[in-house]
Amino acid sequence: MLITAEHITKHQNVKEILMDAGFTIEDKDKIALIGVNGTGKTTLLKILIGEEQIEKGTILKKNGLRISYLPQEPVFEEHETILHQILAMDKDIQEYEAKSILGKLGIQDVTQKVNVLSGGQRKRVALARALLKPCDLLLLDEPTNHLDNTMIEWLENYLKKYSKAIFMVTHDRYFLERVCTKMIEIDRGNLYSYDANYSQYLEMKEERMKIALSQEKKRKSILRKELEWVRAGVQARGTKSKERLQRFYDMSAIEDVKTDENVTLDTLTSRLGKKTIEIEQIAKQYDGHVLFHDFSYRMKRNDRIGIIGPNGCGKSTLLHILAKEITPDTGSVIHGETVKIAYFKQGHEEMDPDMRILDYIKETSNEIKTNDGTYSASQMLERFLFDSKMQYTNIGRLSGGEKRRLYLLKVLMSAPNILFLDEPTNDLDIATLQILEDYLDAFNGALLVVSHDRYFLDRICDSLFIFQADGTIKSFIGGYSAYMELSDINQVKTITKTNDTKTENKAMQTLRMSSKEKRELENMDEEMDKVQGQMDAIDKEMEACSDDFVKLNALSDERAALEQKLEEMMERWEYLSEKQKEIENMKQGKA
């Protein structure tokens, strides 16, 4: 046994982080600590290393326990070299080991001083330092942040073979599934332990919630009967059983079972015309290093594109250029008149720590129109788990994940029709990610996402832009796992996008149609017939009122809107039909 915690209680300001909680960490455990942003995951890690103190309870540690810790914000000797940061920790660390792991994490020049490194590079140096430090227990706070896909897969394999205990906070669901064998969930001050990987945990949690709700139902049934008994014959209360009355009061004091609070998102979009974003032969280089060149693409209304490549290859630069925040060296980016871009950038924008949460959202809008009606800024904050009391709290009191969630709300409040997401999964909890994914499923516009979260890419994207070593950007139809599977057997065939998307050469790759797309295609003929019928009815009505110019104008506008809708539906039908045909041809080819 490495650590045993019993009956621990911890508050942060007025917020209860832990309430009479307990857990154990044993040799060779691989434990994930999960929970909604702001519940105290990082605080618990800091308690284990002694940076934070508990108010009640006991934490017993094995004698001589050695802990290695990766914090979210690592601290260094700023004017020392990268290699010094590693070797100075322990005399048993070999230089070749340090260089090897730093190389795996994309750090080649170990003579650089830390003060010249980017935030992402600093986090990777800190990760190398944590992995190399001799220890009995490895604590990791968001270890996959700032790693590209290759690095994440290397780290995943490294930790699967790791012989010591691991206790980590991460939102990477593939990581949770493949590395961790135990989950500890922190929820409203309580800790729940599950001997399971991520998928097993989901099943076990669902069962726990069912049991808890069933017990809650029985308790309320007993309470109703007891209440009738208490109320009956009020004048004779003194003769009633004191023990029974006390049981009633005790049962009434038990807090109701609370189901998980989830962020609720609606599709908040502006109308997007036929012309979206046209990219013509763009190129960009920095300090003589070519990031990409000769890239052309014409974005479709319902594109779901993931952008992947190693750190520093220019993925974020591409988004900046497409958002017209940076000018390409050559080529052009043309936006359609109706394009309204929302850009969710890495980290979060500069926030005034003294500004109230409500005022921050009101800077974008006092209200928003959604599919369910109009909501005020305060109501939307409630849907994002910022209750009415919290809304008047200063931003400076929020955790990093809570600030990220607040920034996400501000971006979506602008009702975009094209969404750029740059590392959206960093610092967001799994519950928020799941709701964001559901929102993106229903998002009626185009999406471009830079992400190293493999699950998120598989869940959201049906095509990829892949940065190549020669500065080209290739396209792949399919999700991340399909691309990696074909890469492993050297069968990846890319598609070069041309100015005319109708002449694209389709690679023979594993395509898939979601159940939602299949239903959409099946119902599309009927839906288009309905729209055509509405247009025919308007034509007859216009003939009947040819002298009423006011009504004619109104009917003409209505017909134009239906015509635009029918055109969009035709484009969507052509896309889905072509995709279905390719899948059928592939199946026949394999047969």
**Is residue 21's pLDDT more than 90?**
yes
User: Would you place residue 574 in the very low, low, confident or very high pLDDT band (cuts 50, 70, 90)?
Assistant: confident
Q: Please say if the pLDDT value at position 74 is more than 70.
A: yes
Q: What is the pLDDT of residues 339-362, one digit of tens each?
A: 999 999 886 678 899 999 999 999
CB within 8 A of 330, min separation 6: which ones?
281, 282, 283, 293
**Better-predicted residue by pLDDT, 464 or 529:** 464
Rounded mean pLDDT of 154-163? 93
- pLDDT score of 389: 86
Lowest mean pLDDT, pick from 183-197, 227-241, 338-352, 452-466: 227-241
What span, in angstroms and rounded, lies between the C-alpha atoms of 26 and 491?
Answer: 44
Where on the phi/psi map is residue 326: left (φ > 0), alpha (ψ -120 to 50), or beta? beta
- Domains for the chain: give ranges and CATH numbers: 3-201 (3.40.50.300), 277-503 (3.40.50.300), 515-590 (1.10.287)
Taking the C-alpha atoms of residue 570 and residue 428, their distance in angstroms, rounded to an integer, is: 37
Of 199, 206, 182, 208, the C-alpha closest to 33 is 182
Residue 490 has pLDDT above 60, yes or no: no
Q: What is the pLDDT of residues 112-122, one digit of tens each?
A: 999 998 888 99
Residues 511-531 have a mean pLDDT of 81
- In the beta sheet, which residues pair with residue 422? 450
Lowest mean pLDDT across 10-14, 54-58, 260-264? 260-264
What is the spatial distance between Cα 314 and Cα 291, in angstroms, rounded to a whole number?
5
Q: What is the mean pLDDT of residues 446-456?
A: 93
Residue with tokens 């079972």: 257
Give the Cα separation of 392 and 585 in Å (integer). 59
Which tokens belong to 379? 């109501």
DSSP bridge partners of 5 = 23, 59
Q: What is the pLDDT of residue 218?
A: 73
523 Cβ contact partners less than 8 Å away, ≥ 6 residues apart: none
More confident residue, 403 or 384: 403
Over residues 129-142, the mean pLDDT reads 95
Q: Name the average pLDDT for the chain.
A: 84
Q: Which two tokens stand for residue 263?
A: 């962020």
Q: Is residue 519 helix, strand or coil? A: helix
- As a whole number of angstroms, the distance between CA 454 and CA 484 comes to 10
Give me the pLDDT at residue 499, please: 37
Handedness of CA 565, 569, 570, 575 (dihedral sign): positive
Distance between CA 67 and CA 136 in Å, rounded? Answer: 6
Lowest mean pLDDT, pick from 108-112, 266-270, 463-467, 537-541: 266-270
Strands laid side by side in the 30-34 sheet:
67-70, 137-141, 165-169, 30-34, 182-187, 190-194
Task: Of 157, 170, 460, 486, give the one whose Cα is nearest residue 307.
Answer: 460
SS3 at position 196: coil
Lowest mean pLDDT of 284-293, 425-434, 542-551, name the range: 542-551
Distance CA(31)–CA(181), nearest Å, equals: 6
- pLDDT above 80 for 273: no
Question: How high is the pLDDT of residue 415?
Answer: 80
What is the mean predicted confidence (pLDDT) over 180-196? 92
Q: Which of 214-228, 426-440, 479-493 has the highest mean pLDDT?
A: 426-440
pLDDT at residue 444 greater than cutoff 50:
yes
